């Protein structure tokens, strides 16, 4: 049974998507989707335990060994990100079900649930892929599913944003496919476990060109500045649950792909100056863009771009401390970013606007104040929340590394944290700060044809947002064990002998 665990995170959502396309009652489809993601979460938690105690777990699909067949590989890093990502996907699904129930919009279920499950399939396949081509396939599955999700019940603006997202993603995919072809032509393989030694045999110029092209391709998908322009224009236009799952997962898949490929294929022993510069620019320009926004969702989207720079910070150091901080930050950011977008979605739903100058105290009953405040403080790096722990790990790594580049990264991270706190304070004072007793508020506009909100759906939405906030607090509470797990995962990245052995079967020879 344990031998089949690596395929279940990919297989179960595909089966669920197929079943949800049948003409089933809406309640059955919702129960099916929720049950599938719950089962996937259990499988991934078991896979994480196995990967941590027994080493990387590999499955050769169809019995064909690498490099002839498709190999799915789960080590500590991929299993950890799989588990956290599916937890977030499950919570966002509950939020989406609650939103559909509250607004009485069951007609979107026929498209939403299969597309959502296919999105989870693509995310899982990306984390488990053992070769470049199937990593490309995973991105394409995510692209197809995300286009459907971003254009559900679309108006003109959302359709335009969906087309921008799709065109940029297709351009990146064409570059990625070209890279895969060039790498295969130069090395005779696309299996990640084989590529490292074979790329090392190439001339330095060609090897460097491959590294830069891969950084550019994944930089588009990760929204590294200046390749970020598509994200703030597309994410804010989607419904709240779609924006939340996109912000939490899609860019992190790109970060994971960078972590996996740069450490496995292009190992370094010192700071990568180019990536360090990209990290600094991404942190500072992204957060300055956030401060300039008046739209809540665009502000959070620019903040998302900015904090990708923290993850690049850890990767650029190319040592155990830096990669540990990067892994901690990815885990923290997946949960906290989803929590922020869900809380923002609830606030916008109550007021009918995302403009900060029009949001009022009416947007924030006591529970919603807490649901926004905790992840906002965590994102800003306020102790003792998870963001502080992850940033502290990165700063310690930068100081321990030493040198101008590492110190510049640390300084940019500190400045970005202060500016993030300022941006979150702006949101707080606009939408969540208490008003004076004599302050008069206009009731939020309600469209004349809008159905009345249903309490059960609203409770589900609040429960999902509360679950994400609680998950962020749990990460902070479990910082010690999580940091040790992250350190072991970082060691795996820097010393991939076990990964190569389980993929290529060298341990059996």
Nearest-angstrom CA–CA distance, 458 and 448:
20
Nearest to 391 by CA among 286, 314, 486, 287: 314
The one-digit pLDDT tens for each residue of the chain (509 residues) are 577 889 999 999 999 999 988 888 888 989 999 999 999 999 999 999 999 999 999 998 877 877 778 899 999 999 999 999 999 999 999 999 888 754 545 556 678 899 999 999 999 999 999 999 999 999 999 999 988 888 877 677 777 877 888 888 889 999 999 999 999 999 999 999 999 899 999 999 999 999 999 999 999 999 998 888 888 888 888 888 999 999 999 999 999 999 999 999 999 889 999 999 999 999 999 999 999 998 899 999 999 999 999 999 999 999 999 999 999 999 999 999 999 999 998 888 887 777 777 766 554 567 888 899 999 999 999 999 999 999 999 999 999 998 999 999 999 999 999 999 999 998 888 776 655 444 444 444 444 444 455 566 788 899 999 999 999 999 999 999 999 999 999 999 999 999 999 998 764 43
Hey, how many other C-beta atoms are within 10 angstroms of the C-beta on 277? Answer: 15
Contact in structure between 219 and 211 (CB atoms under 8 Å): no
Nearest-angstrom CA–CA distance, 328 and 131:
25
- State residue 448's pLDDT score: 42
- State residue 108's pLDDT score: 61
Which H or E run includes 200? Answer: helix 192-200
Cβ neighbours of residue 435 closer than 8 Å, sequence gap 6 or more? 360, 361, 441
Nearest-angstrom CA–CA distance, 40 and 7:
10
Angular region, 154: left φ>0, alpha ψ -120 to 50, beta rest: beta
Nearest-angstrom CA–CA distance, 451 and 457:
13
Nearest-angstrom CA–CA distance, 91 and 387:
20
Contact in structure between 225 and 281 (CB atoms under 8 Å): yes
Angular region, 446: left φ>0, alpha ψ -120 to 50, beta rest: beta
> What distance lies between CA 219 and its chain's CA centroid?
14
- State residue 385's pLDDT score: 93
Hey, how many other C-beta atoms are within 10 angstroms of the C-beta on 423? Answer: 25
Question: Before 384, cis peptide (omega within 30)?
Answer: yes
Q: Which two three-digit tokens encode residue 80?
A: 């950890």
What DSSP character marks residue 227? S
Cβ neighbours of residue 67 closer than 8 Å, sequence gap 6 or more? 131, 189, 190, 191, 194
What DSSP character marks residue 319? S
SS3 track for 362-392: HHCCHHHHHHHHHHHHHHHCCCCCHHHHHHH
> What are 225-241's pLDDT values in tens digits?
888 888 888 888 888 89
Q: Where are the domains of the chain?
A: 269-434+456-477
Written as one string, the DSSP assignment of 95-132 is: HHHHHHHHHT-GGGHHHHHHHHHHHHHHHHHHHHB-BH
Hey, how many other C-beta atoms are within 10 angstroms of the C-beta on 373? Answer: 17
Q: How far is CA 323 from CA 54, 94, 185, 397, in A?
A: 21, 32, 31, 9
> What are 125-166's pLDDT values in tens digits?
999 999 999 999 999 999 999 888 888 776 777 778 778 888
Hey, how many other C-beta atoms are within 10 angstroms of the C-beta on 62? Answer: 9
Nearest-angstrom CA–CA distance, 34 and 234:
27
């Amino acid at each position: 049974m344990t031998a089949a665990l690596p395929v279940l995170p990919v297989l179960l959502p595909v089966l669920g998507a197929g079943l949800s396309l049948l003409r089933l009652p809406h309640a059955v489809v919702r129960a099916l989707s929720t049950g599938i993601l719950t089962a996937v979460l259990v499988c991934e938690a078991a896979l994480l335990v196995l990967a941590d105690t027994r080493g990387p777990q590999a499955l050769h699909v169809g019995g064909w060994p690498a490099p002839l067949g498709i190999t799915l590989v789960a080590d500590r890093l991929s299993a950890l990100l799989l588990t956290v990502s599916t937890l977030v996907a499950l919570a966002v699904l509950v939020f989406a079900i609650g939103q559909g129930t509250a607004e009485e919009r069951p007609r979107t279920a026929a498209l939403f649930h299969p597309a959502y499950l296919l999105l989870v399939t693509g995310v899982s396949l990306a984390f488990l892929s053992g070769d470049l081509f199937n990593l490309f396939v995973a991105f394409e599955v995510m692209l197809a599913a995300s286009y459907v999700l971003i254009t559900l019940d679309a108006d003109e603006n959302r359709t335009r944003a969906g087309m921008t997202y799709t065109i940029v993603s297709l351009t990146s995919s064409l570059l990625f496919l070209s890279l895969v072809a060039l790498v295969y032509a130069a090395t005779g393989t696309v299996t990640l476990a084989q590529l490292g030694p074979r790329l090392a045999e190439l001339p330095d110029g060609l090897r460097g060109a491959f590294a830069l092209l891969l950084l550019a391709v994944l930089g588009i998908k990760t929204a590294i500045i200046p390749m970020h322009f598509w994200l703030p224009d597309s994410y804010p236009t989607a419904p709240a649950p779609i924006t939340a799952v996109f912000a939490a997962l899609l860019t992190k898949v790109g970060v994971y792909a960078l972590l996996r490929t740069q450490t496995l294929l292009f190992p370094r022993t010192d700071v990568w100056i180019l990536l360090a510069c990209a990290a600094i620019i991404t942190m500072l320009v992204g957060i300055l863009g956030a401060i300039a926004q008046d739209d809540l969702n665009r502000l959070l989207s620019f903040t998302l771009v900015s904090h990708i720079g923290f993850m690049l910070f850890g990767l650029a150091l190319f040592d155990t401390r830096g990669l540990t901080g990067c892994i901690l930050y990815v885990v923290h950011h997946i949960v906290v970013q989803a929590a922020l977008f869900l809380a923002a979605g609830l606030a916008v739903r109550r007021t009918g606007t995302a403009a900060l100058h029009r949001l009022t105290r009416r947007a924030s009953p006591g529970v919603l104040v807490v649901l926004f405040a905790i992840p906002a403080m965590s994102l800003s790096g306020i102790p003792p929340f998870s963001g502080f722990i992850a940033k502290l790990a990165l700063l310690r790594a930068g100081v321990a590394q030493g040198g101008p580049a590492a110190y510049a990264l640390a300084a940019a991270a500190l400045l970005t944290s202060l500016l993030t706190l300022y941006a979150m304070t702006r949101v707080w004072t606009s939408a969540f700060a208490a008003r004076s007793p004599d302050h008069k508020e206009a009731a939020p506009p309600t469209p004349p044809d809008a159905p009345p909100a249903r309490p059960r759906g609203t409770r589900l939405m609040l429960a999902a947002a509360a679950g994400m906030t609680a998950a962020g607090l749990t990460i902070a509470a479990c910082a010690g064990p999580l940091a040790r797990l992250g350190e072991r995962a970082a060691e795996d990245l820097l010393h991939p002998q076990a990964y190569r052995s389980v993929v290529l079967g060298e341990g059996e020879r």
